[in-house]
Amino acid sequence: MKEKHYIGVDIGGTATKIGLTNHAHELLDHRSIPTDPDRGPAALIDDIASAVTRMASNTPAAIGVGCPGPLSPSRGIVFSSPNLNGWENIPLQELMQTRIGVPACIENDANVAALGQYAALPLEEKSDLVLLTLGTGIGSGTIINGQIFHGHHETGSEWGHCIVQPNGRACPCGQHGCLEQYSSATAMTIIAREEIEKGGDTSLTSGATAEMIVNAARDKDPIASSVLNSACLYLAIAIINIQHAINPKYVFLGGGVSGAGEFLLEGVVEHVRAQRWSAHDDHPIIRLAPLANTAGIVGAATLAQQHAGA
């Protein structure tokens, strides 16, 4: 009996990653193709189908797709997607199934990344977890009992939009004080620029990236250190709220900002220790995400496997 294979697709604004896994969630092959969002969903699906044909010698059992933006996994529709022009009310699941000819399912990209991190854990370590992806914004996914948590409206686990500062910075989502406005790469650059414009001793310029800020903080630059420390503090506040809301075993930090590695992790853990309660030792284990660029495709393929009932 031939081993079943599953396809995972991680759609991004610039590139789309495609991977082939087996029943044990092992990544057998993967590649990246340009998304070229201006061409629309049909052209991208054609490119994905061509890549799948080249990658899989046999027809895969199912395909899972992670896509940014508000969407409905149960209905298979992408309502809208940032950085993907013309993606409004797209029946992505149906289009994918029709074009590739195998069962398909769709999911929020951060959710499949969280599922990928879960799949990567050794069997004895698998447990409830939250993934925070620290990039341009802050994406997040929650895994409970091995399944993605969606909530009633299928929009649950948006931890990047939990309010960590009442009446704080305005967020494009319509709220004020969202975590995303304090601890994302974009927020760090904005806050650093504001501090630089006020004057002060710093090696940073107004165009400093999040990576430059982290590197300057390593060298104890005053403004860079303050910006990174603040980002870590707000992350700690969010993690403590996550602890009390769902009490996961793990909180993983991923995304571009997590490239700061142990330097970021130590800052976050230090603030969690200072802020958390002492009533009970139920604090999550905070780690850097074990999977980097492949979490989305592994998670999407794992989702396909779950939907196929394997």
Mind giving me the DSSP string for 79-118? EE-TT-TT-EEE-HHHHHHHHH-S-EEEEEHHHHHHHHHH
Strands, E, within the chain: which ranges?
6-11, 15-21, 27-34, 62-67, 71-72, 77-80, 88-90, 104-108, 129-134, 138-144, 147-148, 250-254, 285-288
Q: How do residues 164-180 score in pLDDT, each as one tens digit?
A: 999 999 998 899 999 99
Beta bridge partners of 140: 132
pTM of the model: 0.90
Strand partners, 129: 143, 250
Helix, strand, or coil (residue 130): strand
pLDDT digits (tens, 9 = 90+) for 75-92: 999 998 877 878 889 999
- The CB density around residue 45, as the number of other CB atoms within 10 Å, is 19
Residue 237 and residue 218: Cα distance in Å, rounded?
A: 23
Between the alpha carbon of residue 291 and those of residues 85, 134, 174, 294, the distances in Å are 29, 14, 32, 6
- Predicted pLDDT of residue 309: 77
Domains of the chain: 6-116+293-307 (3.30.420.40), 124-288 (3.30.420.40)
pLDDT over 70 at 16, yes or no: yes
Looking at residue 165, its pLDDT comes to 97
